[in-house]
Structure 1
Amino acid sequence: MAAIQVVRSEWTKIRSVASTVWTLSLAVVVTVALGMLIAALSKNEFDNLSARDRLSFDPTYISFAGMSLGQLAMIVFGVLVVSNEYSTGMIRTSLAAVPQRGTFLFSKIAVAAGLALAVGLVTSFVTFFLGQSMLGSLRAEIGDPGVLRAVIGGGLYMTLIALFSMGVAAMLRSPMLSLGILMPFFFLISNILGNVGATKKVGRYLPDQAGSKIMQVVTPVDDDTPYGPWGGLAIMVVWVVAALLGGYLLLKRRDA
């Protein structure tokens, strides 16, 4: 089957599964709503901040506060795109139709990545503008130094989260097992490692902590991270490539 036909087939699969559509919709709603709420609360608390905290106040990054929950939906999306066929048994039919497993997997990844990028960019721009509207006089403008990079970076971050989840799901094949590992990893382990003094230097190299650096415009006063926004995104890309490569190698070596 020609590559273009495989891509069309994968697009049809993703579009026809209601759960994937709902998870992407949820990613938008949660990210935007929580971002607006945190921005409004931050505006009200600004006068109570110390002089040191005001120096670290980052209106752009505050509007992305909802990403912490929005990425949850992107993780679910990435897992479902890959593992749905395993849980239903359709993977045998798919691989019979497309024996070239690399073509099969990377067509799926390409379609999902394009969809995640479109949703991620729309979400990022909407949450930025609505979040800044809640901040009033404290807001940042899209033309300010580093702001456009941060907003575009927010969309790239959401896309990479989905791709990393796809790689893990391709390795594990089970939606429950994949989510059972990814959820604690991003919402518990990463936070613990990043906030405990003894492990902080390790935690900053995890995909979510490194990748989220791209959304920062103002560097916190006490931040000694040895890489910048693009360096952090590059670290996240390495994690994603490793996950996808692992998924590809295992798909090639084992039965459906």
Structure 2
Amino acid sequence: MKAAQAGFAVELFKFATCRPLWMLPLLTIGLTWALTYLSGLSEIAATGGDLAGSSAADNPLLYSAHPLPVEYQGFDMMNIGVVLMVALGALYAGSEYGTGLIRSSLIADPHRLRLFATRAALLGTVIGATAVLAMGVGTVIRHLALGDQGLSPLAFPPLVWRNLAGVALVWTTLGLLAYGLGVLARNPILPLVLIMPLVVGLGDFFATLWQPARYLPPAAGAALFGPLDASHLAPGSGALVMTAWAVGGLVLAGLVFSRRDV
């Protein structure tokens, strides 16, 4: 236990002293807060302060057929964070290989599986905390921007909390999957090439054309933070599939990391 705690403290120090790594969570939080507030003001302006009564048929300023239901307001900004958290996972995996620091890490902790698990645990903790802070406060900011059309931050319904948990799960699982792929490739390029196109919309597009594509990340978790439709999995199934992707990638990467030369 003491060895694991010491290893976590060392990895946390390394993370905190690597500027690109700690800047990504801060950038995610700042962008989410700012754009969530501005988007809320824009939606109020576009609908004339009537979210429920507006549609694209009578309001050309709306981008979608109808404004988002009020319980989902704010979660439309989650894609900003998911892109940056995938980048964080890929960078965290590949940074030590690019600098050769992985050899020093293995000298400090020669137990490879423990080192791998410690790094994954730290990454998951950072991403989860970033998601809760960025989207939790961001959701409050959105509803404050909506004014009378928004929900009271002191009385959010359970669906809002479920959406927040869903965002945290999607960000964390995708970040860990990117980390696992980065360890397998020993560089950040492979996870960015494989995951980023799915994150920016290709996965959702495939899901509308081919039913098995619903199981691709992050399309599998779309209902965890947005309204359910026929082209996506139910929230419970999506959570299981997203977790399975992350666990599968980490198990494979951990086994390879424990056996190969660095």
TM-score, normalised with respect to structure 1: 0.86
Q: Paired residue for 1:24?
A: 25
Note the alpha carbon deviations across 1:54-98, whole angstroms, 9 max, x for none: 5x8422323111211221111111112221100001112212332
Q: Paired residue for 2:149?
A: 138
Q: Paired residue for 1:67?
A: 78
Mapped partners of 1:203, 1:115: distance in 2: 29
Q: Paired residue for 1:167?
A: 180
Q: Which of 207, 226, 231 is equivalent to 1:194?
A: 207
Mapped partners of 1:135, 1:210: distance in 2: 30
1:112-151 matches, within 5 Å, as 112-141=123-152, 142-151=155-164
- What is the alpha-carbon root mean square deviation over aligned residues? 2.4
Gaps of 5+ in 1: none
Q: Which of 206, 212, 215 is equivalent to 2:216?
A: 206
1:1-256 matches, within 5 Å, as 2-43=3-44, 44-45=46-47, 46=51, 47-49=53-55, 57-141=68-152, 142-195=155-208, 198-199=209-210, 201-216=211-226, 218-219=227-228, 223-224=229-230, 227-256=233-262
Could you tell me whether the CA contact under 8 Å between 1:32 and 1:66 is conserved in 2? no
From the superposition, tell whether residues 191 and 153 of structure 1 become closer, same or farther in structure 2 (CA, over 3 Å): closer
* Offset of residue 226 of structure 1: 6.8
AA at the equivalent of 2:164: V
TM-score, normalised with respect to structure 2: 0.84
Could you tell me whether the CA contact under 8 Å between 1:211 and 1:232 is conserved in 2? yes
From the superposition, tell whether residues 115 and 2 of structure 1 become closer, same or farther in structure 2 (CA, over 3 Å): same
- Paired residues, what number? 248
Identity across the alignment (%): 26
Could you tell me whether the CA contact under 8 Å between 1:204 and 1:210 is conserved in 2? yes
Could you tell me whether the CA contact under 8 Å between 2:36 and 2:138 is conserved in 1? yes
